[in-house]
């Protein structure tokens, strides 16, 4: 997925992207380990994993702040980036992973990839629908704002005359 805010050749940006991915993955992995520990009856270790996961997500958000600066983001931009990411997942990433799983005879992974392809497609469509609705709302608001501005201009012209 492309990031429109930074030079993709920048080593610092590549490092931030890797750190963002690593911290995000650590968060989920530690949540999963906490679930396993809890199922095995070790509540204390589960709590340590959950507390660490909470810290990992804060690290990931710190990296995200640098990768996707709030000043450059809009609702539409966030939706466009989400659509791009989900589309990549169902058109390229998961099909490639699925093909490798088929070649290796890993039927559980094939089933998982098929589910992810379907879900990523659904996510992309959901984000597209939200973007279309948001675009219509923004267009309607722009018309209302234009009407108000014209009314104010006419009132000012009458007062000035």
The pLDDT of residue 159 is: 86
Residue 111 inside a domain? The answer is: no
Would you write out the chain's pLDDT as a tens digit for each of its 161 residues? 566 677 878 899 999 999 999 999 999 999 999 999 999 999 999 999 999 999 999 999 999 999 999 999 998 899 999 999 999 999 999 999 999 999 999 999 999 999 999 999 999 999 999 999 887 777 666 666 777 777 778 788 788 87
* CA distances to 75, 143, 147, 149 from 135, in Å: 10, 12, 18, 21
Cα dist from 159 to 127, 149, 151, 154, whole Å:
47, 15, 12, 9
160: in domain: no
**Any domain includes 92:** no
Rounded distance between C-alpha atoms, residue 65 and residue 149, angstroms: 35
- Boundaries of domain holding 43: 1-71
Which pLDDT value is given to residue 144? 66
> For the domain that residue 49 is a member of, what is the CATH number?
1.20.1260.10
Considering the domain boundaries, does residue 137 fall inside one? Answer: no
pTM as predicted:
0.75
> What is the predicted pLDDT for the residue at 150?
74
> Cα(16)–Cα(56) distance, rounded to whole angstroms?
14
Interatomic CA distance for residues 87 and 125, integer angstroms? 9
The count of domains in the chain is 1
So what's the pLDDT on residue 136?
Answer: 76
């Amino acid at each position: 997925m492309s990031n429109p805010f930074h030079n993709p050749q920048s080593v610092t940006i590549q490092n931030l992207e890797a750190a963002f991915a690593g911290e995000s993955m650590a968060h989920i992995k530690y949540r999963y380990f906490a679930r396993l520990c809890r199922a095995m009856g070790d509540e204390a270790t589960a709590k340590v994993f959950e507390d660490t996961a909470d810290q990992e997500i804060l690290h990931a958000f710190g990296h995200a702040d640098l990768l996707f600066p709030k000043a450059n983001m809009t609702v539409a931009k966030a939706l466009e980036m989400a659509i791009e990411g989900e589309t990549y997942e169902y058109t390229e990433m998961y099909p490639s992973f699925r093909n490798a799983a088929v070649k290796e005879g890993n039927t559980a992974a094939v089933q998982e990839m098929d589910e992810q392809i379907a879900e990523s497609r659904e996510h992309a469509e959901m984000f597209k629908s939200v973007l279309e609705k948001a675009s219509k709302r923004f267009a309607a608001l722009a018309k209302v704002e234009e009407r108000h501005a014209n009314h104010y201009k006419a009132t000012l012209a009458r007062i000035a005359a």
